[in-house]
Structure 1
Amino acid sequence: MIEEPGRVVALDSGAVWVETRRKSTCSGCSAKNGCGQGLMDSLGVRERRGLIRALSDLQLQVGDSVIVGIREDVLLRGAVLVYLFPLIMLMTAAATAAQFSAHEPIVILAGLGGFFVSWLFVRIRSRNAANDPKLQSVVLRAMLVGPTSP
């Protein structure tokens, strides 16, 4: 399970909306001092916040800190579907058109057509999967906050 800390910003029936901080991987790179991406990250230019809906059966309030998780296989299948599948479809359609000795503009259009078909497939699949509880992130636990001073 991949875990990410976040803060509850809204309540929904059986779920909560959680704001997470998106981080870059620059802290783990050995070349972080010599790259522009590391400089932008250290200046806070690329700091963004993400908003996700997470299933929860806990009694939470707006402002609570939580740990949100998603299964690794769900994340991996989603990444393949969104990033790799359109690329494969683009290349396959273009290669198929080139196999039939089509002119270059037709090969390009075939590649774009394959990409468009894959985009439609991904869009329909994501809409169907949006309500599947097995594919959604969940609140694993609420983080305890220390006592506040008056």
Structure 2
Amino acid sequence: MIEEPGRVVALDRGAVWVETRRKSTCSGCSAKSGCGQGLMDSLGVRERRGLIRALSDLHLQVGDAVIVGIREDVLLRGAVLVYLLPLIMLMAAAATAAQFSAREPVVILAGLGGFCISWLFVRMRSRHTAGDPKLQAVVLRAMLAGPASP
């Protein structure tokens, strides 16, 4: 389970809306001193907050500090669906067009067509599974003491 601290900002039936702070991975990078991204993060320019709807059966109030979690396999499958599938479809469609000795503009258009088809598939799949409780974040526990993380 991947966990993230946050603060409850709104209540919903059977769920809460949690605000989390998005973290950068720049602290672990060896090129952080020579990178513009690392400089922007250290100045706080890119500090952003995320809003997550998390299922909860706890009695929470707005302002409560909580830990939300999502299963690793859900996150991994989502990343493959959103990032890898469109890339594979783009390459497969372009390679198929190239196999038939199509001209370069046709190969490019075929690749873009494969990308668009995969984008539509991802969009339909996400709408179809949006209400599935097994694929949603959940509130794991409420933090009893101390200020909220964000």
Q: TM-score range by the shorter chain?
A: over 0.9
Partner of 1:73: 73
Aligned length: 146
Q: Secondary structure at the match of 2:53?
A: strand
Superposed, 1:1-150 pairs within 5 Å as: 1-146=1-146
* Length-normalised TM-score, structure 2: 0.95
Question: Which stretch has the larger CA shift, 21-30 or 54-63?
Answer: 21-30
Q: Which runs of 4+ in 1 moved over 6 A?
A: none
Tell me the CA shift for residue 34 of structure 1.
1.9
Tell me the CA shift for residue 29 of structure 1.
1.5
Higher relative contact order (CA 8 A, sep 6+): 2
Identical aligned residues as a percent: 89
Q: Distance in 2 between matches of 1:133 and 1:95?
A: 38
Residue type of the alignment partner of 1:128: H
Unaligned runs of 5+ in 1: none
Q: Distance in 1 between matches of 2:117 and 2:29?
A: 37
Unaligned runs of 5+ in 2: none
Q: Distance in 1 between matches of 2:44 and 2:96?
A: 46
String of CA shifts for 1:115-141, please: whole Å, max 9, x gaps.
000000000000111100000000000
String of CA shifts for 1:101-121, please: whole Å, max 9, x gaps.
001111011000000000000
Residue type of the alignment partner of 1:14: G
Residue type of the alignment partner of 1:83: Y
* Length-normalised TM-score, structure 1: 0.95
Report the aligned-residue RMSD: 0.7
